[in-house]
Amino acid sequence: MYIGGYAIECKIKAKSMEIYKCRSLSELRAKRELSEDQVFIHGLESLIVNLLPNDVSKRLRAGSAWRAFTSQVNLWSPQWRYRQDNPSREAALNFLDAVDEVWNWLEKNV
């Protein structure tokens, strides 16, 4: 689950770099005139808002991928790597199914 959430973070950043034709997050930050806190963060919803163009964010919010994002994927935290407890198999599968849906949406629509 940790890697799944991290994959979405990287996908959002990579797609943003593609859109704005940047080779690094530092270049993206400068080109978009964003603060370091807006780019070098792990908050998935903040990354969508700050890095993706408004039209992409609006389209994402209009479909089922957004429901998957808000109900599952956006619960992700980089602190999960330190968790001592394990989620149930069902919870893990639900989370990873949501990750797949969001990943595929980003791949096809951005």
Q: How far apart are CA 8 and CA 16, in angstroms?
A: 12
Q: pLDDT by residue for the chain (110 residues), tens digit each?
A: 999 999 999 999 999 999 999 999 999 999 999 999 999 999 999 999 999 999 999 999 999 999 999 999 999 999 999 988 999 999 999 999 999 999 999 999 99
Query: Which residue blocks in the chain are alpha helix, DSSP H?
Result: 2-19, 25-31, 36-39, 44-51, 54-61, 64-71, 89-109
Query: pTM for this structure?
Result: 0.95
- Distance CA(78)–CA(59), nearest Å, equals 26
Tell me, rounded to whole angstroms, the distance of Cα 59 from its chain centroid. 15
- b/e for 40-60, b at 16 or more Cβ within 10 A? eeebbeebbebbbeeebbebb
Structure tokens at 12: 């959002």
Compute the distance between CA of residue 5 and CA of residue 1 in angstroms, rounded to an integer: 6
